Amino acid sequence: MNTSRRDFIKTLAAGSTASVLSMLNPIETVFHKKLDGKFNGGMLPTKADYSLDKNVTYLNHGSIGTIPKIVQQAHREYLSLCESNPWFYMWSGEWDEPIQKVRQKTADFLNADIDEISFPHNTTEIYNLLALGLPLQSSDEVLFCNLNHAGASIPFHIHSKKKGYNVKVFDIPTADLTSVTKQEILELYDQNINRNTKLIVIPHIDNTFGVRQPVKEIVALARSKGVEYISIDTAQTMGMLPIDVKDLDIDVIGTSAHKWIQAPKGISIAYFSKRIQAELDPMWVTWGQEDWKDSARKFEDYGTRNLPEVLTLGHSIDFQSRIDPNTKHQYLRELWSHAKKLTEENPKTIWRSPSDWQLSGSLFVVEIKDTKTSELAKSLFKKHGFVFRPFDAHSTIRISPNLFNTVEELDELFSLIV
> What are the domain boundaries of the chain?
107-321, 325-416
| Per-residue confidence (pLDDT) for residue 227, from 0 to 100 | 98
Pick the CATH number of 325-416 from 3.90.1150.10, 3.30.1490.110, 3.40.50.20, 1.10.530.10: 3.90.1150.10
The CATH code of the domain at 107-321 is: 3.40.640.10
CA 199 to chain centre: 20
- Helices (DSSP H) in 322-365: which residue ranges? 325-345
In contact, 254 and 127? CB cutoff 8 Å: yes
Distance CA 240, CA 115 (A): 24
Cβ-Cβ contacts under 8 Å for 37 (sequence gap 6 or more): none
**Predicted pLDDT of residue 104:** 97
Mean pLDDT split into 10-residue runs, the chain, 418 residues: 39 35 55 59 86 97 96 93 87 87 96 97 95 97 98 98 97 96 98 98 98 98 97 97 95 96 95 95 85 91 86 95 94 98 98 98 98 98 98 97 98 97
This prediction has a pTM of 0.90
Ordered alpha helix ranges (H), 234-324: 245-248, 274-277, 287-291, 307-321
CA distance 37 to 192: 49
